[in-house]
Copies of this chain bind each other. A is one copy, B any other.
Amino acid sequence: MRVLKYAILGLLEQEKQTGYDIAAAFKGALGQFWSAKHSQIYPELKKLVAEGLIEFETVIQGEKLEKKLYSLTVAGEAELKEWMQRLEAVDVSHKDEFMLKTFFISSMEKEEAKELFSNQLDSRKRKLDELGRILTELEAEFGSNIVFSSPEFGHYLVLTRAIEREKGYIQWLERSLQFME
Contacts and interface: CB of A to CB of B under 8 A. Distances in A.
Given A35-B92, A99-B158, A161-B172, A84 B107 contact: yes
Most buried by B among A116, A148, A167, A180: A148
A6 B100 contact: yes
Contact of A150 (B83, B90, B106, B158): B106
A33 B157 contact: no
Given A164-B171, A165-B168, A97 B106 contact: no
Interface string A54-85: 00000000000000000000000000110111
Interface of A: 1, 3, 6-7, 10, 13-14, 26, 29-35, 80-81, 83-85, 87-108, 110, 112-113, 115-116, 119-120, 123-124, 127, 148-151, 153-155, 157-158, 160-161, 164-165, 167-169, 171-172, 176, 179-180
